[in-house]
């Protein structure tokens, strides 16, 4: 028996030795050029991660969690010791038990902590994707004894590039305009990227402001994975102005009041460790300035409001830096410099999480235990009474993708703060939707729903108001008590059109109704709308109500029913066009809706984000045709097939040009419409 045990021990030791004796190429060796000598295309970064997992499969798992609008893969690498990798799923589930997301059994804090490193959310802040390869290599490198120790009690999750489409837009352009040697003069064309720039994704959205809202496909896919892990620490890597020294946490004021003393303290702990390495290298840095912790949709605040220690790291550089540029002090900032700084803070973060594993996990568990036991904030329940119709569907979808639980009130009345009167009132709560802060996402609930966010310092980095009842226009109340609830059950959707001999009426009060109307127009269904309020069959209808007559749409009723079901609209059947009050449907007070042909001005004259927002709304949300026109080409573009032109925020030279605007004025006089 003793001999057998000894043999097994020897076998285990040999196995571990063999695993760590494996070799892996550095990024330099794999790519064939020194990292930082030029920008690496996204496909080569993907290739390196695929190579790494094939070289060191015992220490790494690689998963494609989605793809971008342009079809580029989105990856997550999981790195730890062989022992931890074999039980990676058990570690994940235990972590969710610590957070109270899984309740099948108690979680244990005797487990690896989880560090999530997010690189390149802004595509033209390109150095961090280069860094991801170096970090991966050093974690897997058998000769790196430091990383071996850290990984014993740490799982590192690496997202090498959150925004591949934006990054490739910048990298492809830069590689086209740079010469054999980089030009360090800021006047050179390689330091002035063209519209719309690589910062944003395919639809010109800033993905670092999308964490809570999840409007973009990259965010949706990433947050699905994030909420399956709920890491203890999340680091978000950025770049700022060329002449700015490096920024790392602790952050600037204002801090949102929900951020715990521990979350603040551990930012300082990691910050001091970063400072130790920067001091040793003589590198400049700053803390506690510029980058605050308030707006909920950043890569630092969203994790903070979900129990993690979230941090932003900002390296000087960005799109103006190219691969080398002279700074104001006469020094040259190179891509290699930028990589070195981001690499240092990445490794420093992993090191401090490992060294503080016990406290990191205990404080993480305490965060969620407090939510479960005490709720969060002054208001414990947020009650949506406006539950009829489809306006609430957008809110429910947002709650679902954020993992926020909601139920139906089982009380008939309650007292709370009325969002729209600003007063404490008693209200009917029957069948209302209740979102409680007594849940794993309780802190996020408080932040997203609070009527007024407490702001200590008005000098903040971003917007200061986002309360969801106002966003969705829903009647709501904030209640100081935990309300009794029952399980939420969605109301049944329309399965077939009601019988009608004349036509159908549909209220037009929400964005879902706008999607419905777009679907009808795309299906060539003839639609009218009422200019004034009216009543029929004892029911009152507001102005804007859509009217679909049966006779002229006889062949399209199936399409009408499908659209009504898809967008959850309520359809009322009518048997006459004679109104009890208001105008009859043949009146000039009801109007036929012509399917408009819409154009959007884009290009360097337009604000990229503003143009992208409209493009995304038409293309992805409304699914309605939109013609994109370069603003500089407008004078030479025929407008005879355009009914509406949308001018997003921008600076349009033709508006001040008498000759350039003449044709546009003529087009408007002939019935064309401009939205600006």
For residue range 501-529, list pLDDT tens digits in order.
Answer: 999 999 999 999 999 999 999 999 999 99
- Nearest Cα to Cα of residue 647 among 621, 611, 612: 611
Cα separations in angstroms, 666 against 156, 397, 521: 62, 45, 27
User: To the nearest whole percent, how much of the chain has pLDDT over 90?
Assistant: 91
For residue range 115-131, list pLDDT tens digits in order.
Answer: 999 999 999 999 999 99
pLDDT value of position 389 = 86
Range with lowest mean pLDDT among 331-335, 495-499, 545-549: 495-499
Cα separations in angstroms, 314 against 325, 345, 541, 576, 579: 17, 10, 54, 65, 64
Render 496-546 in DSSP notation, one character per residue.
Answer: SPPP-SSEEEE---SHHHHHHHHHHHHTT---EEESS-EEETTEEE-TT-E
For residue range 127-146, list pLDDT tens digits in order.
Answer: 999 999 999 999 999 999 99
Q: What's the pTM?
A: 0.94
Summary mean pLDDT of the chain:
95
Angle at 176 between CA 173 and CA 179, to 5 degrees: 130
Q: Per DSSP, what are the bridge partners of residue 346?
A: none
Q: Per DSSP, what are the bridge partners of residue 535?
A: 540, 581
Render 354-410 in DSSP notation, one character per residue.
Answer: HHTHHHHHHHHHHHHHHHHHH-SSS--EEEE---SSSTTHHHHHHHHHTT---EEE-
Asked if 197 and 281 touch (Cβ cutoff 8 Å), the reply is no
14 pLDDT higher than 70: no
Helix (H, G, I), strand (E, B), or coil: what is residue 616?
A: helix
11 pLDDT higher than 60: no
Asked if 610 and 649 touch (Cβ cutoff 8 Å), the reply is yes
Over range 585-595, report the average pLDDT: 97
The residue count of the chain comes to: 676
Q: Rounded CA gap, 354 and 112, in Å?
A: 8
Q: How far is CA 8 from the centre of its chain?
A: 49
Over range 562-587, report the average pLDDT: 96
Q: Rounded CA gap, 471 and 469, in Å?
A: 5
Over range 407-426, report the average pLDDT: 98
For residue range 55-81, list pLDDT tens digits in order.
Answer: 999 999 999 999 999 999 999 999 999
The token pair at 309 is 């220690």
18 pLDDT higher than 70: no
1 pLDDT higher than 80: no
For residue range 164-214, list pLDDT tens digits in order.
Answer: 999 999 999 999 999 999 999 999 999 999 999 999 999 999 999 999 999
Q: Per DSSP, what are the bridge partners of residue 239?
A: 315
Angle at 392 between CA 390 and CA 393, to 5 degrees: 70
Q: Rounded CA gap, 424 and 429, in Å?
A: 14
7 pLDDT higher than 50: no
Q: What band does 21 get if pLDDT is binned at 50, 70 and 90?
A: low
For residue range 427-481, list pLDDT tens digits in order.
Answer: 999 999 999 999 999 999 999 999 999 887 667 777 889 999 999 999 999 999 9
The more confidently predicted of residues 489 and 286 is: 286
31 pLDDT higher than 80: yes
Over range 601-626, report the average pLDDT: 98
Domains of the chain: 2-371 (3.40.630.10), 377-486 (no CATH), 503-592 (3.30.70), 598-675 (3.40.50)
């Amino acid at each position: 028996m003793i001999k057998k045990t000894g043999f097994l021990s020897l076998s285990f030791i040999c196995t571990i030795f063999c695993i760590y004796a494996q070799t892996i190429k550095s990024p330099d060796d794999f790519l064939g050029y020194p990292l930082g000598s030029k920008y690496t295309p996204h496909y080569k970064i993907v290739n390196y991660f695929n190579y790494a997992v094939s070289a060191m499969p015992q220490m790494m798992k690689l998963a494609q969690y989605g793809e971008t609008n342009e079809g580029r893969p989105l990856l997550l690498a999981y790195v730890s010791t062989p022992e931890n990798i074999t039980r990676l799923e058990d570690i994940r589930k235990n972590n969710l038990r610590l957070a109270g997301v899984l309740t099948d059994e108690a979680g244990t804090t005797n487990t690896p902590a989880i560090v999530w490193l997010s690189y390149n959310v802004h595509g033209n802040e390109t150095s961090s994707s280069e860094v991801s390869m170096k970090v991966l290599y050093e974690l897997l490198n058998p000769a790196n004894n430091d990383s071996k120790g850290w990984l014993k009690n740490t799982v590192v999750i690496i997202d090498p590039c959150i925004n591949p489409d934006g990054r490739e837009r910048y990298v492809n352009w830069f590689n086209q305009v740079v010469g054999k040697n980089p030009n360090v003069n800021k006047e050179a064309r390689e330091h002035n990227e063209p519209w719309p720039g690589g910062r944003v994704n395919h639809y010109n959205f800033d993905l670092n402001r999308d964490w809570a809202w999840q409007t973009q496909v990259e965010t949706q896919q990433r947050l699905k994975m994030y909420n399956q892990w709920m890491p203890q620490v999340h680091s978000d890597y950025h770049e700022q102005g060329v002449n700015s020294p490096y920024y790392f946490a602790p952050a600037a004021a204002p801090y949102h009041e929900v951020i715990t003393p521990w979350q603040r303290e551990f930012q300082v702990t990691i910050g001091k460790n970063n400072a130790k390495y920067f001091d040793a290298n003589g590198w400049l840095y700053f803390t506690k300035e510029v980058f605050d912790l308030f707006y909920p949709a950043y890569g630092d605040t969203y994790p903070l409001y979900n129990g993690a220690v979230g941090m932003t790291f900002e390296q000087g550089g960005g799109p103006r830096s190219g691969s080398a540029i002279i700074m104001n002090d006469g020094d040259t900032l190179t891509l290699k410099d930028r990589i070195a700084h981001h690499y240092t803070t990445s490794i420093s973060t992993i090191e401090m999480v490992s060294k503080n594993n016990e406290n990191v996990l205990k404080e993480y568990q305490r965060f969620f235990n407090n939510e479960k036991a005490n709720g969060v904030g002054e208001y414990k329940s947020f009650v949506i009474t406006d539950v009829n119709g489809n306006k609430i569907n957008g809110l429910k979808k947002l709650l679902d993708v954020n993992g926020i639980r909601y139920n139906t009130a089982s009380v008939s009345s309650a007292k709370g703060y009325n969002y729209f009167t600003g007063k404490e009132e008693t209200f009917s709560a029957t069948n209302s939707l209740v979102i409680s802060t007594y849940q794993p996402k309780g802190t996020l609930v408080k932040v997203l729903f609070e009527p007024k966010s407490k702001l200590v310092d008005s000098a903040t980095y971003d917007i200061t108001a986002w309360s969801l009842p106002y966003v969705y226009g829903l009647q709501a109340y904030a209640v100081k008590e935990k309300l009794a609830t029952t399980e939420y059950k969605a109301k049944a959707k329309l399965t077939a059109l009601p019988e009608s001999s004349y036509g159908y009426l549909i209220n037009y009060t929400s964005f879902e109704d706008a999607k419905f109307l777009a679907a009808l127009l795309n299906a060539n269904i003839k639609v009218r709308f009422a200019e004034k309020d009216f009543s029929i069959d004892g029911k009152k209808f507001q102005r804007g109500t859509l009217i679909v007559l049966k006779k002229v749409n006889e062949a399209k009723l199936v399409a009408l029913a499908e659209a009504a079901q898809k967008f959850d609209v309520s359809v009322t059947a009518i048997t006459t066009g004679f109104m009890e009050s208001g105008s009859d449907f043949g009146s000039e007070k009801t109007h036929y809706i012509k399917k408009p042909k819409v154009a959007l001005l884009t290009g360097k004259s337009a604000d990229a984000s503003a143009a992208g927002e409209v493009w995304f709304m038409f293309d992805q949300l409304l699914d309605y045709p939109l013609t994109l026109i370069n603003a500089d080409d407008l004078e030479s573009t025929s407008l005879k097939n355009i009914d509406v032109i949308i001018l997003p925020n921008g600076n349009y030279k033709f508006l001040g040009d008498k000759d350039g605007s003449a044709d546009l004025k003529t087009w408007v006089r002939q019935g064309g419409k401009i939205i600006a």
